[in-house]
Amino acid sequence: MDATARRQREKLERRYQIMDAAERVFLQTGVEHATMDHIARAAQMSKGSLYLYFKDRDDLYLSIAQRAIHDLIEREEAVQERMARASGAEWFEAGLRCYVRYALEYQNRFRVAMSWLFAEEPLDDQSPAYVDYQLGVSRAFQFGIEALELGKLDGSVRPELESAQTVFSLWGGLVGLLLMLSNVDEARRRIPFEVDYEGALETHLGVVLQSIRAQVFPAVEQSGLRMVDRERISGG
């Protein structure tokens, strides 16, 4: 590896280290209350050096969100390739479980990326970083939409579902549960009845997947039942 390539790799590694430090700061203070001073201290560097990597706090936050989206898209593309011969409902389930695994594996990143839900200060939606982030979000949603549309064609998904609306609604419920499960201790303090927190996610996924599947009775089973009925009649 030549010197230029080595410097580029080192700069990228340092950039990721800063993003990891910023994730911790954002979780501790909230994105709106975090400052570049806080992040510089957490990353063990000067504030001036921090600005060599990121323009401002919003640029840093969007970089974290972009990393989460791009990593998720890579995983979803692998799922799409693996499920090439599967039904739309099977692909949708595999993609949903892929999303859940990523959120559980990178809980801090997931929580920071979703912190916009509680933000009062909007990000600059005209910035190149925001546009790239928005395109990533659109692509991530597209996997679910395409899976449902395929399912309508192959008969594995309810044909009356509006795909984009369905994906958005199911994703919203899943995000809420994942955020709650990322802080189970506080959930236990607030929920006044016994809950199987370990099984809650699988229960939710089961309900979601059942809600999108078409109620199909295979033709083979139907013909078999008809044959049995004919045999009973002829034998009587």
Match 């989460």 to its residue by tokens: 68
Amino acid identity at 74: E
Q: Are residues 47 and 85 both part of a single domain?
A: no
Domain limit, last residue, from 37, 54, 71 = 54
Model confidence at 230, pLDDT cuts 50, 70, 90, reads very low
Q: Are residues 199 and 217 both part of a single domain?
A: yes
Reported pTM: 0.83
According to the model, what pLDDT value does residue 123 have? Answer: 81
Q: Are residues 40 and 145 both part of a single domain?
A: no
Match 């692998």 to its residue by tokens: 78
pLDDT tops 90 at residue 217 = no
Q: Domain containing 42: what range?
A: 1-54
Amino acid identity at 214: A
Q: Are residues 15 and 26 both part of a single domain?
A: yes
pLDDT tops 80 at residue 186 = yes
Q: CA 88, 92, 94 angle in degrees (round to 5)? A: 115
Q: What's the CATH code of the domain at 156? A: 1.10.357.10
Cβ–Cβ under 8 Å, residues 181 and 187? yes
Domain limit, last residue, from 54, 71, 89 = 54
Cβ–Cβ under 8 Å, residues 43 and 22? yes
Least confident of 4-8, 102-106, 160-164: 4-8
According to the model, what pLDDT value does residue 10 have? Answer: 86
Q: Are residues 95 and 122 both part of a single domain?
A: yes
Q: Are residues 19 and 94 both part of a single domain?
A: no
pLDDT tops 70 at residue 74 = yes
- When divided into structural domains, the chain yields a total of 2
According to the model, what pLDDT value does residue 70 have? Answer: 94
pLDDT tops 50 at residue 225 = no
Mean pLDDT of 133-145: 95
Quote helix, strand, coil % in the chain, to nearest 5: 75, 0, 20
pLDDT tops 70 at residue 229 = no
According to the model, what pLDDT value does residue 105 have? Answer: 93
Q: What is the mean pLDDT of the chain?
A: 88
Mean pLDDT of 124-150: 93
Model confidence at 127, pLDDT cuts 50, 70, 90, reads confident
Mean pLDDT of 104-121: 86
pLDDT tops 80 at residue 120 = no
Separation between Cα atoms, residue 153 and residue 163, nearest integer Å: 12
Separation between Cα atoms, residue 95 and residue 76, nearest integer Å: 6
Least confident of 100-109, 110-119, 156-165, 189-198: 110-119
Q: Are residues 97 and 202 both part of a single domain?
A: yes
Q: Are residues 49 and 64 both part of a single domain?
A: no
